[in-house]
Structure 1
Amino acid sequence: SNSVFVCMPLGDITDGRKIFFWHRPTPGTRKKKEMWSSGGAPSVPALLALSFALALALGAAHPPPIGPLVEAGVIPDVIDAFRPSVAVDVRYGRTVVVDGRNIRPSASAKQPFVRIHGRRRPSCDLYTLIMMDPDAPSPNDPWEREWLHWIVVDIPGGFDATKGKELMPYAGPTPPIGVHRYVFVIFCQNETLEGIKSPEARGKFKTRAFAAKNGLGLPVAALYFNATKESTGLNKLEYDRSRF
């Protein structure tokens, strides 16, 4: 099938003006331009392209609300209530992390792609990413809350987490029992975190204390996914200190 390219400013979606879709031609054919205005209807490929482009644009412009975080207890178990001001994109391969989604430990074993859709500006040009499990070792008895899975600081806004400084390397989820929440929290940095040290242990980490110690304030974004134990060898490694 032919690929579709959407060529329009976001404002054209809602004000009734014409929207153009360019189709990549197949061999031996000429490029085709399809026009959609208020008096016509788009083709199926064009409509799918429009929906995808609109979702991306709106997702970046409008961070998700904190309601799902409150319902899941992430607020107040991990962080206090905050006003989201940036959007964050977290993906394990083709699997997109959204609040409450169930993701298998084997699918999240490798470090995810994380991009913070923030703008570089004097008041906040760098970000901190923390990933933790507040349900360790068991949701009914989380005596090791929070289990730290990942920390990256000094991430430039608009870039992925690999552009930052990793304080704690990524460790994939391996929940031993029950449904565990795996939470990503984003903080705004006012400056580079010079001289910051890596936490001594993963267990009993405190996101609030880390933020307060480093002057990070309240989060600017957060999301979580759920995971449960799989019948694989992955879970035999859970909380084995020797691997850290």
Structure 2
Amino acid sequence: MIRRSFAGISFLLSSAASASAFSVDPVKMASFPPTFHLTKAMKGPDVAKHLVLGEEAKGASIVCIDPDAPHGCDSGQSNFGWLHWYVTSLTPGEEPDPKCHRGEHLITLSTGSHKWKGCEVVTYAPPTPPQGFHRYEFFMLPAGTTLPLSSWGLSSDSRKTRADIITDVHQKGGGVPFAAFGCTKSTAANAQCVKSDQFPAGCQYTATA
């Protein structure tokens, strides 16, 4: 068991989550500026340019998931989750471009003198909660980590496949997202999705003393 903090809350992670290959706390590898708020209207480049990556992020991956699809975290129903973004092979801007595989796209992250590059495996999809309250969690995965996407949405039980991938992200990502935002179907396109300290009951992260 290990203890980490997110948004001022202390977490005690399970042994499965603590088995992550991180040698550096993933929360310190990536962040958004305090003034950044996710909205439904944002496209991938809008999100990517606001990322702040530390030097330890080299070779790692960024993932955004909605663990609450389709019903919402406040529904009391089982959810399967959805993968909203997956970028691998993070590389500092001054280094040669990473070698992206067929079907992946080379994209730019961050801006200015701290530009980074990566291979976009799953194109960013903005929040589109159909019902209930949904959390959009951003994780870092350690270098060399991959997700089993070959059967994403294609297996005989795609719901189980989606749930397995969400679990995989939580475990390989160290159990705690470096950023999380939440919104509902009624949230206006340009309105700010709330941050974790404003999540409703049933959607808040479990804290330990």
Could you say which structure has the greater relative contact order, defined with CA pairs below 8 angstroms and 6 or more residues apart?
A: 2
Q: TM-score, normalised by structure 1?
A: 0.46
Identity of aligned residues (%): 23
How many residue pairs get aligned? The number is 150
1:80 Cα deviation after fit = 3.3
Matches of residues 62-211 of structure 1 in structure 2 within 5 Å?
Answer: 65-66=5-6, 80=17, 84-85=25-26, 86-90=28-32, 96-97=36-37, 103-106=38-41, 109-111=42-44, 112-113=47-48, 114-119=50-55, 125-137=58-70, 138-139=72-73, 140-141=75-76, 143-156=78-91, 160=109, 163-190=117-144, 200-201=152-153, 204-205=162-163, 206-209=165-168
Distance 2:170 2:68 in 1: 20
Deviations 1:182-211 (A, max 9, x none): 1000022048x6xx7555238624234368
Answer with 1 or 2: which has the greater Rg. Answer: 1
Distance 2:149 2:133 in 1: 31
Does the residue aligned with 1:174 lie in a helix, a strand or coil? coil
Counterparts in 2 of 1:177 and 1:136: CA distance versus 1, 3 Å: same
Unaligned runs of 5+ in 1: 1-63, 98-102, 234-244
Partner of 1:239: none
Distance apart, 1:221 and its partner CA: 5.7
Letter in 2 for 1:80: A
1:104–1:69 distance in 2 versus 1, CA, 3 Å: farther
Structure 2 unpaired stretches of 5+: 94-107, 111-115, 190-209
Q: CA RMSD in A?
A: 4.3
TM-score (norm 2): 0.52
> Segments of 4+ in structure 1 off by > 6 A?
none
Aligned to 1:226: 182
